[in-house]
Structure 1
Amino acid sequence: MSDRPVRRPRGVMPSSLFPDEKEIGRLVLGDRASAWPGVAGVWEKAGLPRIDPLTGGRYWPAVERFLDSRYGMAEPPSGAADAPENPNYDQHWKKRWRRDR
């Protein structure tokens, strides 16, 4: 047996990698778990991972990463941009400005 200490997982642990909404509500909000559907709806717009249609649950490590970044504990997830990028944005407004003059 090794003398190294056993690494304990950080945070709370769900029963699976894709827990259902009821379990996520309990893990995230505790006794206020009944408020989870409303909270999840608002947070999805801010980057909370959506329910995977194949598994019927949210990928827990991504949920944890979202919460950590929301509360300043980690870098924001790469998919949580403010707005979609448009490489032609400047060209669109230049054309419109010329047309309106």
Structure 2
Amino acid sequence: MNHIVTVQDAVTAFAPDIEPTDAELDAIELEMPLITAEVDLLDVQIICMDRSGNELDARRLRRARRRVLAARRELSNQGSIEAVPGGAA
């Protein structure tokens, strides 16, 4: 039986000592309000999936969506980011 193996090197080399640059850390810090709002929205969506919907869950979901939209708006108004993933084209 012949085994099929790749003869090419990995596309991304593994280097455990590579740390993010200062620019990458600054970009993450700049996007942190949006990241937090999206995580909160995901938490609310998971809660809503776990039980039958009621008015309180609907309010939580609307508020979480508004927070995500507000964070995207603030981020896009800063002008330092070209595109926010998941945003309108």
Shared fold per TM-score greater than 0.5: no
- What is the TM-score normalised by the length of structure 1? 0.25
Pick the structure with more helix per residue. 2
- What is the TM-score normalised by the length of structure 2? 0.27
